[in-house]
Structure 1
């Protein structure tokens, strides 16, 4: 249950502090009662500054766990198992920047959060990827059966997710799934994506100065920074490119589950 009439959903910030600051400024201008931080918050160029800013939101913020947040906690604790992917070095670097307080903030985040009576929307659940797995890939073209299985553990009329960095809004078996997109690493468009709930669901996009952000990030020491800037700040992958990559990830995950 929540008394919040307006909820902002910020997902996949990935330590992009300039994008986060721009979104928070717009959030304040439209007026919200609650912010849901929907996972993958700090694994990027500004892990410490991002978590400090989010922590300053206090009780207005609800924290949801993403796979990147879990990996940062594991790396901080010395138990992270490398995935073999390009994010491994970044996870280790970012975790090395964190304090115990930062680690505990991420560790306390929930896999799912739900509210029973959001004005205009009814029951709404929030998770980073799916209700059963913080790293499961669902996309706008995923099958009804996949959605049913992935969200069988939840009963909310609407589920708000992130993870694939591409905003979408679709129905599955009389339920609604909305992807809020990514604040820090959007695919298919420029600007920072987020969602606003208030009598209806609105997918929002906030612009910010990408050149200034890139210059600021250039002094961070983030591993593989040039690629991050070229692919996520100065330019962004198209939705077609992202769908092609993530469809392969999804199929690999589904094969692993079926076996």
Structure 2
């Protein structure tokens, strides 16, 4: 079975469309969308793209999806700029989009021949805001994963790809489609022939930047700069 896992789109529709084209070219039979779909400069465009696949793709809720759909504010613990973008993104979406985000499941799980039991989550199996990084201490990870029986955990949230054996599990981060770090292209994961492969799709970054700057998203210049020059920080 060929499975694509695309995470952390963050409102970058140009990157999303490029990845979906490559996913189709690879003839993926299942697609997992791993959360944080719309928090970013093109929320409506991303949702309109994804809604074409709402009955065929499998989806997971990310922390940012919940925060946008329920309009999390400073009173809910968000930083000022996060709350401002939450409200702006929610205002761009239709009632159908918001209802869809509110109803997303927290995880997807499947048995894959040759790999075994694979659990797809946004952050960790315990919490979608919990970050598993390439250098997170094994004792911390053990607490996050001890209540799941899956031998492979696919996650996102941190926007940096890695593949490590830790705490008795194989943990693979798919990276970010639309707001990546340590990569220039749109990052995702391809599972095929009993292998898990990190992918990086090149896309028209200047087109994405131009569309973002033509929009009305708060901090659009910051999003454009991040996409044009992704940060190379963290492990």
Same fold (TM over 0.5): yes
In structure 2, the residue matched to 1:248 is: none
TM-score, normalised by the number of residues in structure 1: 0.86
Structure-1 separation of matches of 2:159 and 2:98: 24
Deviation per residue, 1:185-236 (Å, 9 max, x gap) = 1101100000011121000000011111111111210001111111x21111
In structure 2, the residue matched to 1:39 is: 35
Match 1:98 to one of 93, 97, 115: 93
Aligned CA RMSD, in angstroms, stands at: 1.6
Match 1:209 to one of 186, 198, 204: 204
1:68 and 2:73 correspond: no
| 2:35–2:62 CA contact under 8 A, matched in 1 | yes
> Could you say what secondary structure the match of 1:159 adopts?
strand
Give how far 1:242 is off: 3.8
In structure 1, the residue matched to 2:145 is: 151
In structure 1, the residue matched to 2:9 is: 13
| 2:74–2:80 CA contact under 8 A, matched in 1 | no
| 2:153–2:170 CA contact under 8 A, matched in 1 | yes
| 1:10–1:183 CA contact under 8 A, matched in 2 | yes
TM-score, normalised by the number of residues in structure 2: 0.95
1:178 and 2:172 correspond: yes
| 1:74–1:80 CA contact under 8 A, matched in 2 | no
In structure 2, runs of 5+ residues without a counterpart are none
Pairs within 5 Å for 1:46-65: 46-65=42-61
| 2:117–2:150 CA contact under 8 A, matched in 1 | yes
In structure 1, runs of 5+ residues without a counterpart are 244-259
Structure-2 separation of matches of 1:180 and 1:141: 16
In structure 2, the residue matched to 1:246 is: none
State the number of aligned residues. 234
Give how far 1:16 is off: 0.2
Match 1:222 to one of 207, 217, 225: 217
Give how far 1:61 is off: 0.7
Give how far 1:85 is off: 5.0
